[in-house]
Amino acid sequence: MPRHQLSSEKILIIFWLSTHGEHLMKTDQFQPQTYRLLGGPGSPYSLKMRALLRYRRLPHLWIVPSGYLGSEGELKLAGKGMIPVLQYPDGSYHADSTPLIFELEKRHPGYRSVLPDDPAASFLSHLIEDMADELLVEAMFDMRWGAEFDRTFCATRQLQGWLGVIARPKLDALVAKFTSRQTSKREAMSTTEEGYQLLASFYIATLTVLESMLERTAYLFGGRPSLADFGLYAQLCQCALDPSASTIMRSCAPRTFQWTQSLDDASGVDGDWVPQSTWDPSVREMLALAGRFYLPLLRAHHHAVESRTESFEVVIDDLVWRGQAESYKHKCLVWLQREWAALAPEDKAKVQPMLQETGCLDYLTIVLTGNKPVPDMSPR
């Protein structure tokens, strides 16, 4: 065929682009690189990253590697000691979902970003995500590894997902081992019954906020999901499955149940950020939870780590929560403070009254002792 003549396939492609091309243009360009996401069933942070990659339309493969948490195989090679691990197209391995999400923003700027355009809203979105990553996870974990019925179901289905075809006696032995490991991790979160009561109240309060948000907006900052939504999704998609947590969600938050199912794959969502007047009510309610539950707890972890005490105690709603200090939470408070301090005065002014009213502001501005240095946030 002469070179200047068009083949019938090319004519078809040109015709298709002329009729559908505007949709391609609207949502930025195709990204040719492929990421590999190594994660596992039942891992909220793995599912958070998968939902994020899907929403951002970043080509990726979802891989459940053999060898749970690095006992063998590729996870051992990656050497992160946690999941998920994201392998970049250049072959390097990276971990820790929040810094990874920020790094992906830099690698693919302006391409279906999950950071609201308004820097003040973007800060709040990170604060809410942090609360979900660090506190809602504990509510999920508490319910998952609390009652016998939950433990057996959750451990069995998680290990089935990891191990695939396996004889029942072998699976049962591994389920028993995994359950005892997870149960002792649960006990480290809080040693008081009152601490567990607080987690239950926090879970129900979070569901209540989302359920009412769905009367106004699809996501916290508008018609497109933000960092905060992915943080909440991570834990709530597991709560939607785990027996006790799911029973609560189905009875008091059926719309949130479906929200978790939908955000799992939001690759087709093409919404907009909305103005503060629209996002204000639900975000304010989330901040009220941060001021009441999360930030006092974070402060207590920070304080314990700074003073080299292994455990901490904090009173919330007149209930005592005692637990083991975590160095990651120590860093979270510092990172949030740094991000707040870096905001321009005019951006701070937009949300300062709201942070003040919800009891968050003091935690973001109080001068912390700096005995333990905290590096900048970056993936591991």
Ligand X SMILES: N[C@@H](CCC(=O)N[C@@H](CS)C(=O)NCC(=O)O)C(=O)O
Positions in the binding site for ligand X (CB under 6 A) = 43-45, 69, 82-83, 96-98, 133
Complex with ligand X: residue 96 or 138, whichever CB lies closer: 96
Tokens of 118: 């308004």
Complex with ligand X: residue 69 or 200, whichever CB lies closer: 69
Complex with ligand X: residue 153 or 335, whichever CB lies closer: 335
Closest contact distance (angstroms) between CB of 100 and ligand X is 7
Closest contact distance (angstroms) between CB of 84 and ligand X is 6
Question: Omega into 84 within 30° of 0, i.e. cis?
Answer: yes
> What are the residues whose beta carbons fall under 8 Å from the beta carbon of 242, sequence distance 6 or more?
140, 143, 144, 150, 153, 154
The beta-strand segments (E) located in the chain are 35-38, 60-63, 85-87, 93-95, 311-316, 319-324
Taking the C-alpha atoms of residue 38 and residue 84, their distance in angstroms, rounded to an integer, is 6
Taking the C-alpha atoms of residue 50 and residue 334, their distance in angstroms, rounded to an integer, is 27
Complex with ligand X: residue 38 or 253, whichever CB lies closer: 38
Taking the C-alpha atoms of residue 86 and residue 93, their distance in angstroms, rounded to an integer, is 6
Taking the C-alpha atoms of residue 228 and residue 231, their distance in angstroms, rounded to an integer, is 5
Cβ pair 267, 23 in contact under 8 A: no
The beta-strand segments (E) located in 255-364 are 311-316, 319-324
Complex with ligand X: residue 83 or 289, whichever CB lies closer: 83
Complex with ligand X: residue 157 or 350, whichever CB lies closer: 157
Closest contact distance (angstroms) between CB of 92 and ligand X is 16
> In this structure, what are the phi and psi dihedrals at residue 272, rounded to the nearest 5 degrees?
-120, 160
Closest contact distance (angstroms) between CB of 248 and ligand X is 21
Taking the C-alpha atoms of residue 255 and residue 201, their distance in angstroms, rounded to an integer, is 19
Complex with ligand X: residue 199 or 274, whichever CB lies closer: 199
Closest contact distance (angstroms) between CB of 181 and ligand X is 8
Q: Tell me the C-alpha to C-alpha distance, in Å, between residue 99 and each of 208, 227, 363, 379.
A: 28, 11, 22, 5
Closest contact distance (angstroms) between CB of 51 and ligand X is 13
The half-sphere exposure of 50 on its side-chain side, counting CA atoms within 13 A, is: 21
Complex with ligand X: residue 64 or 82, whichever CB lies closer: 82
> In this structure, what are the phi and psi dihedrals at residue 94, rounded to the nearest 5 degrees?
-140, 150
Closest contact distance (angstroms) between CB of 185 and ligand X is 7
Closest contact distance (angstroms) between CB of 155 and ligand X is 13
